[in-house]
A and B are shown apart, each in its own frame.
Chain A
C-alpha cells in the first residue's frame, strides 16, 4: 500500500532521522527547517490527503520511497539535467522535482522525449509551486535533503533501484478525452503558441479557442500520443495577439483536440482511479488546475494521496492530469 501521509513538522523530522528515503512536499519555511537526510522536497500548500483535497501550510506531505533495494539522491543544476536519464537505474524509477517557471522545468519539458532512454526508464515527479494567493510575491523552490540546499532552479531527484522481478510502471490518470471535432497541429514545440492549423487550415490558437467557446481555458487541449492522452492545460489566452500559453508544451508531431467537457471531476476521478488504487502505488500527484476547476478542496479522491502540483511528470511533463507510479 502507498505509504504517504500529511504529517506535522515533528513527525516529518522524525521520519528523516529514522533514515527513511522520503519525498516531501510543503511550505518553504517548514522544508527549510527539516533536518538533512535522505529526502527531496518541493514547495506547495495544496494536497490530495486521506480526508480529501486541502490547503495547509502547517503540515507536510511525506511519501516513503519503499519497495526498492536502494535509493540514490542527486541534485541536477540546469546544465547537468541531461545526466538524469544516464543516472536512472536500469531497473527502477526516478522521482524528480523541479520549480515551476525555471530553466530546468522548460528544458526537461521540451527535451525529455528526445533522450534515447525516454519511456524505457520510468521517470515520475512533479513541478513545485506556490500558494496561488501569493502569485508574484514568492517563488517555487525545491530542496535537496542530503545538503539542505534550497533551490530556485534545477532538479532534485531520487533514483530507486528495484529487485529483479519487480518493475515500476507509471499510470497517467486523465479524466479528459478529446472531442475529435477539430484537429489542431502546432509548427513547433513550446509552452506558448500563436500559429497553428485547425483541420489543416492556418489560424491562431486564441482564435480557435474563442471560436470553440474556451477563452476561459477551462478545457485543456488533449494530445493523442498513439492512444494515451496528454493534456496541454491552458494558462493564458491573448485574443489580441493570438497567443496561448500552456502549462505543458505542445509538440509538432501530435494531434490535439479540445477536451470534452467534464460535468463532475470527482465522479470522473473515482472512475479512473478505481483500477489503480488497489495496486501498489509508491507515488502520486494531481494537478493544481484540476484542484481549482474541479473544486477538489474537501473532496476525497479514493485512497491515493500526494501533492497537488504545477505540473506532473509521467515519463514526460503533463498538465491537468494525475499520475501514479506503482511497483508491479
Chain B
C-alpha cells in the first residue's frame, strides 16, 4: 500500500536519507529532476506520490523500500 502524502517517506526519498533503488527509468529521471528543482517541497512530494499511485502495480519492490 502506498504511504499517504503526509508520510515522511516522500521527504526521505527526496533527501536521499533512506536507501532506495529502482530500475524504473521514469522514476529515476523524476527523482533527479525533483531533487534539484526549486519547486516547493510539498509539490515535489505530490509529484512523487502521483507517480507511485499511477504505477503502483509495477512498483511493489519500491513501495516496500519506502517505509523500511
Contact = CB atoms under 8 A, between A and B. Distances in A.
A113 B30 CA distance: 8
A167 B57 contact: yes
A257 to B, nearest CB: 15
B28 A225 contact: yes
Interface in A271-328: 314-316, 328
Nearest to B26: A119
Nearest to A224: B32
A127 interface: no
B33 interface: yes
B47 A120 contact: yes
Contacts, number: 63
Contacts of A54: none
B26 A122 contact: yes
B31 A226 contact: yes
Interface in A245-276: 253-254
A169 interface: yes
Nearest to A172: B25
Given A113-B33, A119-B51, A253-B36, A227 B28 contact: yes
Contacts of A254: 32
A306 to B, nearest CB: 17
A91 B23 CA distance: 21
A198 B28 CA distance: 24
Contacts of B7: none
A69 to B, nearest CB: 17
Given A120-B51, A226-B29, A328-B58, A169 B24 contact: yes
Contacts of B28: 225-228
A314 B33 contact: no
Interface in B29-68: 29-33, 35-36, 47, 50-51, 54-55, 57-58
Nearest to B33: A113
Nearest to B51: A120
Given A225-B28, A227-B21, A227-B22, A120 B58 contact: no
A170 interface: yes
Nearest to B31: A226
B54 to A, nearest CB: 6
A68 interface: no
A132 interface: no
Contacts of A91: 54
A172 B26 CA distance: 9
B55 A225 contact: no
A227 B36 CA distance: 15
A228 B29 contact: yes
Select the residue from B33, B51, B55 with max chain A CB neighbours within 10 A: B33
Given A116-B47, A118-B29, 10 more contacts: A91-B54, A119-B26, A120-B47, A120-B51, A120-B54, A225-B31, A226-B32, A228-B32, A253-B33, A328-B58
6 contacts: A113-B33, A167-B54, A167-B55, A227-B21, A253-B35, A316-B29
By Cβ-Cβ distance, the 6 closest A-B pairs, closest first, are A253-B36, A228-B28, A119-B30, A226-B31, A225-B32, A226-B32
